[in-house]
């Protein structure tokens, strides 16, 4: 059974959009865009 108290203790908030943009550099964004484009072509 899930122990919600333990799960809440492990919780870490996700980064805000501004923080994510600061953490990612241009190459990462390019890689993500290429991956998305590839997935769209496969649909």
Q: Look at the chain and report how many structural domains it folds into.
A: 1
Question: What is the radius of gyration, based on Cα positions, of the chain?
Answer: 17
- pLDDT tens-digit readout, 1-43: 889 899 888 888 776 776 666 666 666 778 888 889 988 887 7
Tokens of 5: 């108290």
pTM of the model: 0.38
* The pLDDT value given to residue 11: 85
| DSSP 8-state code for residue 4 | H
């Amino acid at each position: 059974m899930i122990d919600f108290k333990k799960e809440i203790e492990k919780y870490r908030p996700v980064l805000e959009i501004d923080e994510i943009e600061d953490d990612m550099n241009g190459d990462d964004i390019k890689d993500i865009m290429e991956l998305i484009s590839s997935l769209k072509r496969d649909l």
